[in-house]
Amino acid sequence: MTVDGKVVAITGASSGIGEATASLLAKRGAKVVLGARNPDRLDAVAARISATGGEAVTKATDVSSRGDLMEFVSLATATYGQLDVLVSNAGIMPVSPFDELCVDDWEAMVDVNLKGVLFGIAAALPVFRRQGYGHFVNVASTAAFRVTPGQSVYAGTKMAVRAVSEGLRQEAGENLRVTIISPGMTSTNFADSITDPVARAELEQRRDVIAMPPAAVARAIAFAIEQPPGVDVGEIVVRPTAQA
């Protein structure tokens, strides 16, 4: 069981879970293709990977753009001749109460959290079918299991990711794999996108008390990827022990 030599494309790779996953997989011998909206941060991640003997290429990628994801997947196949795994990790969490009517934030969560996964499927599925193998790893959230006030739209997008992923798994056939990763509270910069000051303060305070490191989620992703052919890890839920 190994990731050595596999080509793994990761969205949201400039920080947090995406960065931790890229670093871990590259350390274990994977060739990583990194996508995110900030090219400077991406290049910094790639430089750190290269400095430790890993191999990485980058492309500025907005997952709400189908064209960007098509180009992102094409970079992987053009550079390495194949794509073994697509990790759809990019996500935002600008949560707020419904009464605030943060409609732009609602739209952004649908565009990034849900459509970003769908556009990744549209880009990678034909490649996987041609190859006869491939693995989708879609990052959802424990919010997909438990709705709390202020987080309804975010939870809705993550529930949809789980539904889409399970449907894709059932249609994938015996040669493709689909894994859902549902992290709990993780020490990332997710609060940066929250425009409601009260909601942001509450989540930041909770994160600083109970959150687990992104490396914990990265290890879960690596576990799913490194399974031998014919073994599909359907879903992993990983959360801090202090999270209710």
Give me the mean pLDDT over the 10-38 stretch: 97
The mean per-residue pLDDT over the stretch 30-37 comes to: 98
Cα separation, 190 vs 131, in Å, equals: 35
Would you say 86 and 178 are in contact if contact means Cβ atoms under 8 Å apart? no
Helix (H) / strand (E) containing 130: helix 116-131
Dump pLDDT digits (tens) for 180-198. 999 999 988 777 777 778 7
DSSP string, 9-25: EEESTTSHHHHHHHHHH
pTM of the model: 0.95
Determine whether 80 is an active site residue: no
Tell me the per-residue pLDDT of 46-64, one tens digit each, with 9 for 90 and over. 999 999 999 999 999 999 9
Q: What angle do CA 6, 213, 10 make, to 5 degrees?
A: 30
Question: What would the mean pLDDT of 18-26 be, rounded to a whole number?
Answer: 98
User: Taking residues 225-237, what's their average pLDDT?
Assistant: 95
Would you state the structure tokens that stand for residue 165, as one six-digit string? 């992923």
84 is written with which tokens?
């073994």
Task: Tell me the pLDDT tens digit for each residue of 62-120.
Answer: 999 999 999 999 999 999 999 999 999 999 999 999 999 999 999 999 999 999 999 99
> How far is it, in rounded angstroms, from Cα 207 to Cα 185?
6
Pairing type for strands 31-36 and 7-11 reads parallel
**Of 106, 136, 154, 190, which is the active-site residue?**
154
Chosen CATH of 7-237 out of 3.30.160.620, 3.40.50.720, 3.30.1360.70, 3.40.50.170: 3.40.50.720
Confidence of residue 199 (pLDDT cuts 50, 70, 90): confident
Contact 77, 83 (CB under 8 A): yes
Tokens 């939870």 sit on residue:
155
Domain locations in the chain as residue ranges? 7-237
Residue 201 CB neighbours (<10 A) = 12
